[in-house]
Amino acid sequence: MTKNHDMELNRPNAVGLQKQPEVPYLVLIRNFLEAVVSDYNLFLRRNEDTYDAWIGFSERKIQYYKKFMQKWVLEDDSMEKQIIRYEKLTAEPVEQFTRMIEFFHPPTPVDQSRLESIINQAVLEDVKPTGIDVIRNFGVKNRRKLQDFKHFDENHFNHLESELDEEFEGIGYPRRFAA
């Protein structure tokens, strides 16, 4: 098993990773707005934090997100895959991790109490421009709100969502900042 973001899709005309029909895929997706804010925080480890930097960064990420969603989620292919939404994973981690484990048909049932214990002991690596804070026993949860983001601008977030209308509709993500 490997974890991959298929980052080659960032390059113009790139097709990214080749799909392997014999391999089952577990595809973790996240709403673009939360994903791009999170990714921007990683970007800040090596770059200056300005409003213009944020706008340029978020605009550049739209094409990658479109390509990723079209290829791994929306494309009508015969791949054996399970789509897991980050939002559901952080809201109901035991249920979603159980789904993921059962997708691979283990020989024994999932030990729910052990799984819950593992989830509760999960460590958070909080990436900041100044470094990484490690928080033990954080669990699996989403702790951020978009409105708390330093460069939050409802008009820009509406614009980002409108650029992804087709993908949001196909995935079932609601538009939250529509004009």
The string of pLDDT tens digits covering residues 148-158 is: 999 999 999 99
Q: Is 3.40.50.300 the CATH classification of the domain at 23-171?
A: yes
pTM of this prediction? Answer: 0.85
Taking residues 132-151, report their average pLDDT.
88
Q: Are 119 and 140 in contact (CB under 8 A)?
A: yes
The string of pLDDT tens digits covering residues 23-43 is: 999 999 999 999 999 999 889
Give the pairing of strands 131-135 and 124-128.
antiparallel
Token reading at 81: 């895959």
The string of pLDDT tens digits covering residues 68-107 is: 999 999 998 889 999 999 999 999 999 999 999 999 999 9
* DSSP state, residue 47: S
Taking residues 111-138, report their average pLDDT.
87
In the predicted model, is pLDDT for residue 168 greater than 60? yes
Token reading at 138: 């954080």
In the predicted model, is pLDDT for residue 2 greater than 70? no
Query: What's the whole-number average pLDDT of the chain?
Result: 91
Residue-by-residue DSSP string for 61-127 = HHHHHHHHHIIIIIS-----EEEEEHHHHHHSHHHHHHHHHHHT--SS---HHHHHHHHHTPPEEEE
12's CB contacts (< 8 A; 6+ apart) are none
Q: Where are the domains of the chain?
A: 23-171
